[in-house]
Amino acid sequence: MLEAIKAELEFNPRLMMDFPDATGRGSIWNAGTIITRSNAKVQVFGSGKKMRGLRHGPYRPDLCVLDDIENDEQVRKPRAARQVGELA
C-alpha cells in the first residue's frame, strides 16, 4: 500500500499541480516509512505489529488508518470468525 502512496506523491501531475509543496520525494523514503515534503510521516505495519509508542518528533499520530486488524486467531467466537471472512 505504501508503494501506491509513494507513486502518487511522486508521479501524479494533478496532485503536483494542486499541492506543489506536499508532493515529490520526502526526506525519508523507505519501504515501510516515508516522511513527505510537508513533514507528514506515513508508516505501514504488518499483521500483529504493535503501534504503541509511535512518535514523529515530539508528536503522536493524529490519524491511524487500519485495515483488516483481526485475523481468525484473534476472533474468539467461531461465528465472528466466519463474519470476518465473509467481509473480506
Give the pairing of strands 28-29 and 41-43.
unpaired
Same domain, 8 and 27: yes
Same domain, 52 and 86: yes
Alpha carbon distance 26, 24 (integer Å): 6
Same domain, 87 and 52: yes
Backbone φ and ψ for 9, nearest 5 degrees, come out as: -65, -30
pLDDT-based confidence at residue 19 (cuts at 50, 70, 90): very high
The DSSP bridge partners found for residue 33 are: 43
Please state the domain count of the chain: 2
Rounded average pLDDT over 26-43: 88
Boundaries of domain holding 61: 48-88
Query: Considering the chain, what is the average pLDDT of its residues?
Result: 79
Q: What percent of the chain stands above pLDDT 70?
A: 67
Measure the CA angle with vertex 2, ends 32 and 10; round to 5°: 115
At 44 the pLDDT is 80
Same domain, 27 and 59: no
Rounded average pLDDT over 41-66: 73
Q: Above 90 in pLDDT, residue 17?
A: yes
